[in-house]
Amino acid sequence: MSPGFRGRRGTEGGEVRLPPGQYLTEDFPVLTAGPTLRVPTDTWEFVIVTEAGEKHRWDWQQLMALPSEQPTVDLHCVTKWSKLHTRWQGVSLDVLLEGVDTAADYAMVHSYGGYTTNLPYEDLLHGQAWIVYKFDGEDLTPEHGGPARLLVPHLYLWKSAKWVRGITLMDSDEPGFWESAGYHDYGDPWREQRYQGD
């Protein structure tokens, strides 16, 4: 069967469609390598650094002042659970990258606490990625990465860095935390790219 036949939406004709090897869950598991961080919004900052070293910085108030979106998306974790129709609020990376002069091909996402994950620059654009601060209408809890996390739901959830602190734009690809430990460089759930070599 070609991957296209499985559909790219959570539901199709009322029937639930999942990426290969995934099962449905209703609850929202917490997966963190290390302790849960408490990052106060009064010291929070988000910094984009270009491949030329130019810095673009937002504090919490500036983030809140930006136009936000309310994406409803499906989450797919590499440990095989999927949670459908999750409701978020946050700022699209299209908005944050609008004034950023870059020709980078890759990005490294950095979290408070040192977690990192890499992805192609293009995957941050075109309505595919957000810095989210609300889940289900409530402030995002620390367990799920509050005050703000990256949400990039078309890739396995390890790419959605919790307690996000910044993004470094790069000319060449580099592995992040899980990618260095054998997980796939890209991580497309529909192509079941769990581990390097998949």
Residue closer to ligand MTE (CB basis): 52 or 181: 181
Residue closer to ligand MTE (CB basis): 33 or 125: 33
CB hemisphere CA count around 171 (13 angstroms): 3
* DSSP assigned state of 140: P
Q: In whole angstroms, what is the distance from residue 23 CA to residue 28 CA?
A: 13
Residue closer to ligand MTE (CB basis): 13 or 35: 35
29 lies in the site for ligand MTE, by CB under 6 A: yes
Chain centroid to CA 7: 21
115 lies in the site for ligand MTE, by CB under 6 A: yes
With beta carbons less than 8 A apart as the criterion, state whether 154 and 123 touch.
Answer: yes
Region for 178 from its dihedrals, namely left if φ exceeds 0, alpha if ψ lies in -120 to 50, beta otherwise: alpha
Site for ligand MTE in 158-177 (CB under 6 A): 158, 160-163
Token pair for residue 185? 């460089």
User: Which of 60, 106, 133, 158 is the binder for Mo ion (CB under 5 A)?
Assistant: 158
Least distance in angstroms from the C-beta of 72 to ligand MTE: 16
Which residues of this protein are in contact with ligand MTE, per CB under 6 A?
28-33, 77, 111, 113, 115, 144-145, 157-158, 160-163
